[in-house]
């Protein structure tokens, strides 16, 4: 190996310059940061040839005092001295940007402070002012850079085509402009104005000016104040959570940053709630300076969060509650929501909450439940259905009381709500309450699934499809089940043998007012045969004006209802499988009779009840 030698000063400077500025956009980032640190209210950025030919930044900031001008280009000279790196409030702090840029380009700087009578214009080459003259100009600073990387051919070669470099500049200036909606930015590339913002502090308008109106559709306000975290900004409302080209911007203490943990935290909430990946967000996060290290990346694009897990937790919590608020405001069933809304502030309600477990869950309390608890009771009456006579059974609108219901319009509502089922299938299963409800914790919500109703829905969908496709598999009974249904039903059973057969039930006359059931549909084999058949016989009464399709649906519904068994001892794996199976059904949120399958109880209910909020 050769002898160890010190690198020449020139080489050291070139290496350092390469770290701070990798391309024109990198240089522009540093220059805009300087303009912002100088309290500018108007910043104009002009570039030519992807920034390689020229970059010109005009600001109306405080300007640079004449005696300071030579120092601007000296490495590690800065006016933003922070004795403590943990207390940095400015965007710049290392005093190396202009030194670096001056090393790889030709710079002209024109500047004037409010105290100066006349401005100063200097030419700079490699850290040194080579020419200086008085110049007529306004208060502020103009920096012009030409021939970027002229003396570092390797770096120059590495740069992309002008158009690609221009694209990078547009991206960068967009991020920066949106970091400060209170500052007017104007970007002109090759003589063409790309965008200009109005500096009126309106985030959405600023975003629209930079990215176009369609990029702000579906964004809603998001404010989080949870010591030590403060966030203000915008997030995608649930109805728009599937837009993959959504804006995803995070600013911490006015600095645009790429933060994996934070962006993941936001996306996770959307995935959890909507099983979607398209969340958009423009978040302005404020954190105490000592909670982050901005000095871990040469271009200051990444920051290190101390206690990242706390911050991400607070962000998630905050976003969840914002989305929940949205649900309360926008749900398509205002009656229920009005009741739910006022319930939060109503102590009487909180007391009621403890009365019965069912009341915990926002369901459909006014629907009769006796049929479910007394499945064996066979009467001649019409089975209870909750559907209007003239509508197909899949018609009821899902009323899942969850954040997903935020959408007003029918189409997206169904699809988005459905996602929660797959999500729940992976969340924390707590157990079964009252042998009837499977409890699953998901984020700050507790879901309850009516096991019987869920089962019934899955069974019904499967059985109906098999019937319509004439594919009902028969399960022969080794020992026929003999039933004595009583005079009328016995007669009906024999009269309707064929129809029963088409549903998979083979029955024979057993003599003495009894029938023998020889086979049942395999799908229903878990159920009590006698109860299923009795239920069916009750439902078999021919109704005038009932079309065939509706009749078979009604019969199948009845058969399924009595076929559901074993909800009391359903185990975790079965609950998860049931949730997944529900996902594939036509209408996962109501049983074939229209009863609610899934209920939700918000953490707020508990917190309110236990005096925490
Ligand atoms: P840093 O921003 O880390 O201090 P720079 O090399 O970017 O280092 O800038 C060096 C110094 O030049 C700054 O500290 C600031 O005093 C001055 N300066 C640079 N650009 C401007 C500007 N647009 N307006 C006012 N002062 C500026
Ligand atoms: Mg700087």
pLDDT tens readout for residues 130-147:
999 999 999 999 999 999
Model confidence at 547: pLDDT above 70? no
Model confidence at 55: pLDDT above 90? yes
Longest dimension (CA), the chain: 121
Kindly list the protein residues whose Cβ atom lies closer than 6 A to any atom of ligand 1.
30, 34-35, 38, 59, 61-64, 72, 78-80, 92-99, 141
HSE-up of residue 287 (Cα within 13 Å, Cβ side): 25
Average the pLDDT over 517-524 and give the result. 90
Lowest mean pLDDT segment, chosen from 247-251, 392-396, 553-557: 392-396
Per-residue confidence (pLDDT) for residue 327, from 0 to 100: 38
Per-residue confidence (pLDDT) for residue 314, from 0 to 100: 92
Q: Which atom of ligand 1 is nearest the CA belonging to 61?
A: 24
Distance separating alpha carbons of residues 242 and 151, to the nearest angstrom: 47
Among 20, 78, 145, 298, say which to mutate for ligand 1: greatest number of ligand atoms within 8 Å of CB. 78
Q: What is the pLDDT of residues 534-543, one digit of tens each?
A: 988 888 876 6
Q: Are 157 and 21 in contact (CB under 8 A)?
A: no
Which residue CA neighbors atom 1 of ligand 1 most closely?
95
Among 92, 110, 124, 145, say which to mutate for ligand 1: greatest number of ligand atoms within 8 Å of CB. 92
Q: How far is the CA of 22 from the centre of ligand 1 (A)?
A: 19
Model confidence at 362: pLDDT above 70? no
pLDDT band at 18 (very low <50, low <70, confident <90, very high): low
Q: Which residues surround ligand 2, an ion (CB under 5 A)?
A: 34, 92, 97
Per-residue confidence (pLDDT) for residue 352, from 0 to 100: 40
Average the pLDDT over 65-87 and give the result. 79
Distance separating alpha carbons of residues 580 and 426, to the nearest angstrom: 10
Q: How far is the CA of 63 from the centre of ligand 2 (A)?
A: 13
Per-residue confidence (pLDDT) for residue 420, from 0 to 100: 80
**Ligand number with the minimum distance to the CA of 98:** 1
H or E segment to which residue 598 belongs: strand 598-602
Q: Are 55 and 27 in contact (CB under 8 A)?
A: yes
Count the neighbouring beta carbons within 10 Å of the beta carbon of residue 5: 6
Which residue CA neighbors atom 19 of ligand 1 most closely?
34
Q: How far is the CA of 81 from the centre of ligand 1 (A)?
A: 11
Which residue CA neighbors atom 20 of ligand 1 most closely?
34
Closest by CA to 180, choosing from 282, 248, 290, is 282
Q: Which atom of ligand 1 is nearest the CA belonging to 140?
A: 24
Per-residue confidence (pLDDT) for residue 344, from 0 to 100: 36
Q: Which atom of ligand 1 is nearest the CA belonging to 93?
A: 3
Q: How far is the CA of 115 from the centre of ligand 2 (A)?
A: 23
Residue 93 CA to chain centroid, in angstroms? 35
Q: How far is the CA of 50 from the centre of ligand 2 (A)?
A: 21
Residue 231 backbone dihedrals phi, psi, to 5 degrees = -130, 135
Per-residue confidence (pLDDT) for residue 24, from 0 to 100: 93
Per-residue confidence (pLDDT) for residue 238, from 0 to 100: 64
Q: How far is the CA of 311 from the centre of ligand 1 (A)?
A: 31
> What are the residues whose beta carbons fall under 8 Å from the beta carbon of 449, sequence distance 6 or more?
424, 437, 438, 440, 575, 578, 579, 597, 598, 599
pLDDT band at 356 (very low <50, low <70, confident <90, very high): very low
The pLDDT > 90 percentage for the chain reads: 35
Average the pLDDT over 474-487 and give the result. 89
Q: Angle CA(35)–CA(263)–CA(185) in degrees, nearest 5?
A: 25
Tell me the range of 19-33, 107-121, 151-165, 287-301 where mean pLDDT is highest. Answer: 107-121
- Lookup: tokens for 14: 């070139």
Distance separating alpha carbons of residues 264 and 23, to the nearest angstrom: 28
Per-residue confidence (pLDDT) for residue 559, from 0 to 100: 84
Q: How far is the CA of 97 from the centre of ligand 2 (A)?
A: 5
Per-residue confidence (pLDDT) for residue 406, from 0 to 100: 34
Please state, rounded to an integer, the average pLDDT across all residues of the chain.
79
Does 77 or 481 have the greater pLDDT score?
481
Model confidence at 110: pLDDT above 90? yes
Q: How far is the CA of 98 from the centre of ligand 2 (A)?
A: 7
Which residue CA neighbors atom 2 of ligand 1 most closely?
92
Distance separating alpha carbons of residues 588 and 598, to the nearest angstrom: 9
Tell me the range of 105-119, 311-325, 426-440 where mean pLDDT is highest. Answer: 105-119
Does 608 or 110 have the greater pLDDT score?
110
Distance separating alpha carbons of residues 253 and 235, to the nearest angstrom: 18
pTM exceeding the 0.85 threshold for the entire prediction: no
Model confidence at 243: pLDDT above 70? no
Per-residue confidence (pLDDT) for residue 237, from 0 to 100: 79
Q: What is the pLDDT of residues 208-236, one digit of tens each?
A: 999 998 889 888 899 999 888 999 999 98
Tokens 């975790």 label which residue? 572
Per-residue confidence (pLDDT) for residue 396, from 0 to 100: 32
Q: Which atom of ligand 1 is nearest the CA belonging to 101?
A: 6
Q: Which atom of ligand 1 is nearest the CA belonging to 33?
A: 2
Q: How far is the CA of 118 from the centre of ligand 2 (A)?
A: 24
Which residue CA neighbors atom 17 of ligand 1 most closely?
72
Average the pLDDT over 20-34 and give the result. 91
pLDDT band at 121 (very low <50, low <70, confident <90, very high): very high
Does 589 or 141 have the greater pLDDT score?
141
Q: Are 587 and 331 in contact (CB under 8 A)?
A: no
Model confidence at 468: pLDDT above 60? yes
Count the neighbouring beta carbons within 10 Å of the beta carbon of residue 116: 16
Model confidence at 531: pLDDT above 70? yes
Per-residue confidence (pLDDT) for residue 481, from 0 to 100: 92
Model confidence at 255: pLDDT above 80? yes
Per-residue confidence (pLDDT) for residue 141, from 0 to 100: 98
Which residue CA neighbors atom 7 of ligand 1 most closely?
97
Model confidence at 125: pLDDT above 70? yes
Among 44, 74, 94, 98, say which to mutate for ligand 1: greatest number of ligand atoms within 8 Å of CB. 98
Average the pLDDT over 428-436 and give the result. 90
Per-residue confidence (pLDDT) for residue 158, from 0 to 100: 80
pLDDT band at 10 (very low <50, low <70, confident <90, very high): confident
Alpha helices (H) in 185-258, listed in sequence order:
203-211
Per-residue confidence (pLDDT) for residue 273, from 0 to 100: 61
Q: Angle CA(50)–CA(55)–CA(56) in degrees, nearest 5?
A: 145
Does 469 or 362 have the greater pLDDT score?
469
Q: How far is the CA of 270 from the centre of ligand 1 (A)?
A: 41
């Amino acid at each position: 190996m050769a002898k160890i030698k010190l690198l020449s000063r020139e080489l050291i400077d070139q290496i350092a310059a390469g770290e701070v500025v990798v391309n024109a956009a990198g240089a522009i980032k540093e220059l805009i940061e300087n303009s912002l640190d100088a309290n500018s209210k108007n910043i104009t950025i002009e570039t030519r040839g992807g920034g390689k030919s020229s970059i010109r930044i005009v600001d109306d900031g405080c300007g640079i005092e004449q005696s300071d001008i030579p120092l601007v280009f000296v490495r590690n000279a800065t006016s933003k001295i922070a004795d403590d790196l943990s207390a940095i409030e400015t965007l710049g702090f290392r005093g190396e940007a202009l030194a670096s840029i001056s090393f790889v380009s030709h710079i002209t700087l024109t500047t004037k402070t409010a105290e100066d009578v006349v401005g100063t214009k200097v030419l700079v080459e490699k850290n040194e002012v080579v020419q200086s003259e008085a110049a007529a100009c306004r208060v502020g600073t103009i920096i012009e850079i030409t021939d970027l990387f002229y003396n570092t051919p390797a770096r120059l070669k590495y740069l992309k085509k002008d158009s690609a470099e221009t694209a990078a500049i547009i991206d960068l200036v967009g991020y920066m402009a949106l970091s400060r909606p209170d500052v007017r930015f104007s970007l002109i590339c090759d003589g063409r104005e790309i965008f200009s913002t109005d500096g009126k502090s309106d985030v959405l308008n600023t975003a629209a000016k930079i990215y176009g109106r369609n990029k702000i559709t579906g964004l809603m306000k998001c404010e989080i104040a949870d010591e030590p975290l403060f966030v203000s900004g915008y997030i995608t409302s649930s109805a728009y959570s599937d837009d993959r080209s959504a804006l995803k911007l995070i600013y911490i203490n006015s600095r645009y940053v790429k933060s994996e943990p934070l962006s993941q935290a936001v996306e996770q909430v959307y995935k959890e709630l909507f099983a979607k990946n398209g969340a958009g967000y423009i978040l302005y996060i404020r954190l105490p300076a000592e909670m982050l290290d901005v000095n871990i990346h040469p271009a200051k694009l990444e920051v290190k969060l101390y206690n990242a897990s706390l911050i991400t937790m607070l962000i998630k919590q905050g976003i969840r509650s914002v989305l929940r608020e949205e649900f309360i405001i926008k749900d398509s069933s205002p009656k229920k929501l009005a009741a739910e809304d006022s319930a939060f502030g109503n102590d009487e309600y909180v007391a009621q909450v403890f009365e019965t477990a069912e009341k915990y869950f926002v369901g459909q309390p006014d629907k009769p439940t006796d049929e479910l608890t007394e499945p064996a009771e066979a009467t001649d009456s019409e089975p209870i259905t909750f559907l209007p006579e003239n509508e197909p059974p899949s018609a009821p609108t899902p009323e899942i009381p969850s954040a997903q219901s935020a959408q007003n319009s029918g189409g997206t509502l169904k699809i988005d709500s459905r996602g929660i089922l797959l999500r729940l299938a992976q969340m924390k299963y707590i157990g079964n309450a009252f042998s009837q409800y499977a409890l699953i914790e998901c984020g700050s919500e507790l879901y309850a699934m009516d096991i019987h109703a869920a089962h019934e829905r899955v069974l019904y969908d499967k059985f109906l499809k098999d019937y319509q496709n004439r594919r009902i598999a028969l399960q022969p009974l080794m020992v026929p089940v003999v039933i004595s249904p009583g005079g009328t039903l016995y007669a009906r059973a024999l009269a309707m043998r064929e129809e029963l057969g088409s549903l998979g039930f083979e029955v024979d006359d057993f003599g003495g007012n009894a029938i023998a059931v020889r086979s049942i549909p395999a799908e229903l084999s878990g159920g009590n045969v006698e109860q299923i058949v009795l239920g069916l016989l009750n439902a078999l009464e021919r109704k005038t004006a009932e079309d065939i399709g509706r009749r078979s649906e009604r019969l199948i519904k009845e058969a399924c209802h009595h076929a559901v068994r074993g909800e009391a001892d359903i185990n975790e794996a079965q609950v998860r499988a049931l949730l997944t199976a529900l996902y594939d059904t036509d209408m996962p949120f109501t049983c074939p009779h229209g009863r609610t399958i899934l209920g939700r109880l918000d953490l707020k209910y508990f917190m309110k009840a236990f005096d925490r909020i």
